[in-house]
């Protein structure tokens, strides 16, 4: 079994628990970005050079084989380039979801095959239950750490080969286990930022990548096309944004980003709520029993009821009650109670203003 070791406390405890249980495990760290040119050590990003050292220290302590796998080319192709393209096109990407789908549970499964490993174990706060009906992916026991949202686009083949040894724990219990195992990562702070943008400056990153299409100046307009202000580029904005608009007569929220016209479309906050979505790139871990399911459109949002209609190439979602704004490029995760059914990527958003 491969343990995806990020150098954090969660995956370190996973390795220690499996080693204690007598499992034959191999630690693998995924090197996804050239951190030597960005000086990001200590900035709280995941998968940095410092994290690689920590993962190796834990592997050495547990006396397990350890590999540092070069995933930089795959990461650029499947995560970085789509991230840049999304911001250029006025979308709000979710790079962590793409990293899970294409790198951690995509490319890493190929590594598992090469190493003749059947399963991958990760530190995600997700629970897996197997029964006669197959596998069930359930929300983590710790509601504040549940990470099913980021796994909503996994396919069934990937899900069958992943186990989550800390999904039944709360975060403080994981740290206590790390202390009992005397792991050097026991008190390590959690990563907070996008790993390749540790300072949170996405516009600076786009400039560094020489992607300037999303930085073309333009107008801020309302639903009638009236010009209310000017902007420095649509990449500075995300759908649902309230702060930093610099406009009077609000409160306003961003409800649209038009790359062709270089326009930021805004509406009064009371009309910016979302009533409907189109979702594509979808996968079902378990087919829904009816058209009434739960949905999350943000990691920290609550599960809300909705009605789904499965079309030929997308899922039509109608909310039972209007929701806080979300954006194309974000994940829509579908649930039946505590069970993750699957999910996809939001393709189009319908607001009250545009209804």
Q: Which residues pair with 316 in a beta bridge?
A: 278, 309
Measured in degrees and rounded to the nearest 5, phi and psi for residue 349 equal -125, 135
DSSP state of 317: E
Query: Is position 96 annotated as part of the catalytic site?
Result: no
Q: Which of 46, 96, 195, 306 is catalytic?
A: 195
Which own/partner pairs from 265-272 qualify as long-range (CB within 8 Å, at least 24 positions apart)? 265/220, 265/221, 265/222, 265/223, 266/220, 266/221, 266/222, 266/228, 267/222, 267/223, 267/351, 267/353, 268/353, 269/242, 271/351, 271/352, 271/353, 272/240, 272/325, 272/351, 272/352, 272/353
Q: Helices (DSSP H) in the chain: which residue ranges?
A: 9-20, 49-62, 72-75, 81-88, 95-98, 108-114, 156-160, 171-180, 202-208
Query: Is position 306 annotated as part of the catalytic site?
Result: no
Burial code of 20-56, b = ≥16 C-beta within 10 A, e = fewer?
A: eeebebbbbbbbbbebeebebeebebbbbbbbbebbb
Q: Which of 46, 47, 96, 99 is catalytic?
A: 99
Least Cα distance to 141 among 183, 171, 107, 184 occurs for 171
Least Cα distance to 53 among 68, 39, 43 occurs for 68
DSSP string, 180-247: HTT-TTTTPPPP-S-TT-TT--HHHHHHHTT--GGG--EEEE-TT--EEEEES-GGG--TT--TT---
Catalytic residues: 99, 195
């Amino acid at each position: 079994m491969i343990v995806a070791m990020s150098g954090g406390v969660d995956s370190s405890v996973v390795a220690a628990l499996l080693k204690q249980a007598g499992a034959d495990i191999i630690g693998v760290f995924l090197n996804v970005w050239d951190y030597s040119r960005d000086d990001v050590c200590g900035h709280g990003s995941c998968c940095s050079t410092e994290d690689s050292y920590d993962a190796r220290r834990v592997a050495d302590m547990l006396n397990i084989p350890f590999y540092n796998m070069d995933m930089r080319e795959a990461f650029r192709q499947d995560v970085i380039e789509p991230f840049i393209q999304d911001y250029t096109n006025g979308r709000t990407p979710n790079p962590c979801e793409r990293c899970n789908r294409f790198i951690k549970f995509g490319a890493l499964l190929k590594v598992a095959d090469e190493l003749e490993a059947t399963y991958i174990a990760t530190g995600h706060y997700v629970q897996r239950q197997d029964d006669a009906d197959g596998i069930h992916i359930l929300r983590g026991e710790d509601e504040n750490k549940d990470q099913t949202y980021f796994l909503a686009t996994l396919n069934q083949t990937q899900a069958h080969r992943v186990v989550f040894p800390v999904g039944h724990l709360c975060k403080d219990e994981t740290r206590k286990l790390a202390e009992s195992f005397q792991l050097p990562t026991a008190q390590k702070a959690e990563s907070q930022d996008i790993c390749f943008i540790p300072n949170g400056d996405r516009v600076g990153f786009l400039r560094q990548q020489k992607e300037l299409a999303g930085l073309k100046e333009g107008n801020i307009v309302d639903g009638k096309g009236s010009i209310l202000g000017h902007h420095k580029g649509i990449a500075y904005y995300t759908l649902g944004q309230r702060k930093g608009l610099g406009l009077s007569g609000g409160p306003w929220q961003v409800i649209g980003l038009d790359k062709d016209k270089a326009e930021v479309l805004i509406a009064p906050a009371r009309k910016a709520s979302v009533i409907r979505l189109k979702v594509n790139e979808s996968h079902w871990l378990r087919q829904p029993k009816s058209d009434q399911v739960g949905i999350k459109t943000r990691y920290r949002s609550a599960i809300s009821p909705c009605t789904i209609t499965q079309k030929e190439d997308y899922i039509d979602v109608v909310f039972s009650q209007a929701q806080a704004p979300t954006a194309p490029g974000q994940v829509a995760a579908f649930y039946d109670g505590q069970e993750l059914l699957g999910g996809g990527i939001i393709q189009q958003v319908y607001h009250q203003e545009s209804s």
